[in-house]
Structure 1
């Protein structure tokens, strides 16, 4: 295939959603963008886009083709930056995906990355499923549990992520602190609504907390955190997040069963690109600093 210009044009239409936006980004006329798409579809022998009133959406074939285009575009951009040399800052965007309970773990690393690369936009998506990195849904994923086994993924150990029951000082002033796990009479809890099997402490919740002991529940982990910090009840928080916020006290001794193993996941084609390596470096630096602080 020799239609690299047309492929790049189609990639920008897919990324931006309309011909007009792609034309502006590329400095082309709308008619030229449309011609590039027609030429590419003729070359491939299949429809790439479905045209509708709101813009363009990808067909299944289009998704396969455009994921190749995205990787090519990013790798060429990365190569150009390396060849130019002397470029101190990374530009463009980098996409991260992670599970909601871990959203606070990377903020320090993102802040460090942004301080070094203020012209690079960081997009963070929160979801329960591992993003399809081969489709360009993310550059870096932080996941927990079993090690991802996809043959095209580069998987790095992030570290153990611990959880515990925490209560805010304002809650403890009003209700006191339970002395043992069996001393929860009169206490109320703030709990996530995720299926128990997905949480390292899910079985403990199921076996210990009665429905009448729940003050608030939510599928949004941000709501859970804010509720605990407001003193509404006792709730499960990540140890790192709780330390960062202050005025939160662990209720029970550390439980090894409430730890999960974290993994940083990248796609082999983009793992060595400058921006992915720069972000991974910031994440690893922050992790090392946190481990040294705990010693």
Structure 2
């Protein structure tokens, strides 16, 4: 099967338009249309339903598009591996992590990475869904559990615990709870129990709910929980790493915390020699060390 025709088909299927695919491929619309028709004739099938708003894949087109997506990802992976063995640290690095860790811990520290490597481009993808690294949905991941795939290189970075925090203003107005039973008199701010989150955090929230909490605010990520806490809305369940960058928040019920949550950095085996990966890995490692020193200084003060 002609790769050029498959490449053009993939661009059309991805764009949903002959014109947009032509723009991306630097080909005329007529040239793109001829290649698609030729591919359909060679396969003796129709790959697209054509209508005024664009193109929709047929069932046969969907099957072929699934195959070309896999091919493109593997070619991208091979290309990245070849380039990363020869190039300096520049270009795009796609990093995925959770919304909470990415927005509250990682993003505020990226200026240090850019200072060292001003030509790198970070594509930061914040979501709870675990992206498929071997299939190149991302280049590197920071995950709140050890990756299970065998073809990944992984490094344990740190551990996190979920704890209870409130603003001084909230506590001054509403009092500080001395026992878990006292939580019934406060508003609990937490991730929605039905949203994707680490199991340790969910277990702590479920335990707190057994104390007849009178009022709750549920948010689908820890960034939202933190904003509600510093806005004096209640007592929030938050990861302990926030205390370094938000030292004014007060830990409540210091004996109460979740089980340990391990934090891992992972990337595909095929990117072992990537200079971009190495630069990002070293940057995160250095920031973790600085984070630990800062927390120790805070605890000694």
TM-score, normalising length from structure 1? 0.78
Residues 244, 291 of structure 2: 8 Å contact kept: no
Distance of 1:114 and 1:47 partners within structure 2: 48
- Alpha carbons of structure 1 residues 119 and 243: separation in structure 2 relative to 1, 3 Å: closer
- Post-superposition offset of 1:64: 3.5
Q: Which residue of 1 aligns with 2:282?
A: 281
Distance of 1:134 and 1:251 partners within structure 2: 42
SS at match of 2:288: helix
Q: Which residue of 2 aligns with 1:207?
A: 207
Q: Which residue of 2 aligns with 1:66?
A: 69
Residues 90, 276 of structure 2: 8 Å contact kept: yes
- Post-superposition offset of 1:45: 8.6
Q: Are 1:259 and 2:263 an aligned pair? A: no
SS at match of 1:64: helix
Deviations 1:226-275 (A, max 9, x none): 11110100011111123212321111326564320112232333454343
- Alpha carbons of structure 1 residues 206 and 78: separation in structure 2 relative to 1, 3 Å: closer
Q: 1:141-290 residue pairs with structure 2 within 5 A?
A: 141-145=141-145, 147-184=146-183, 186-195=185-194, 198-209=198-209, 210-253=211-254, 257-290=258-291
- Alpha carbons of structure 1 residues 119 and 102: separation in structure 2 relative to 1, 3 Å: closer
For structure 1, which runs of at least 5 residues remain unmatched after alignment?
none
Q: Are 1:75 and 2:74 an aligned pair? A: no
Residues 10, 66 of structure 1: 8 Å contact kept: no
SS at match of 2:203: helix
- Post-superposition offset of 1:276: 3.2
Residues 131, 137 of structure 2: 8 Å contact kept: yes
Distance of 1:281 and 1:11 partners within structure 2: 36
Distance of 1:47 and 1:241 partners within structure 2: 55
- Post-superposition offset of 1:168: 0.9
Distance of 1:200 and 1:107 partners within structure 2: 24
Q: Which residue of 1 aligns with 2:299?
A: none
Residues 163, 239 of structure 1: 8 Å contact kept: yes
SS at match of 2:254: coil
- Alpha carbons of structure 1 residues 10 and 263: separation in structure 2 relative to 1, 3 Å: farther
Residues 163, 236 of structure 1: 8 Å contact kept: yes
- Post-superposition offset of 1:198: 4.5
For structure 2, which runs of at least 5 residues remain unmatched after alignment?
297-301
Q: Which residue of 2 aligns with 1:133?
A: 133
SS at match of 1:251: strand
- Post-superposition offset of 1:216: 1.5
Residues 78, 274 of structure 1: 8 Å contact kept: no
Distance of 1:36 and 1:278 partners within structure 2: 42
Residues 95, 123 of structure 1: 8 Å contact kept: yes
Distance of 1:215 and 1:50 partners within structure 2: 49
Residues 161, 262 of structure 1: 8 Å contact kept: yes
For these two proteins, the number of residue pairs brought into alignment is 288
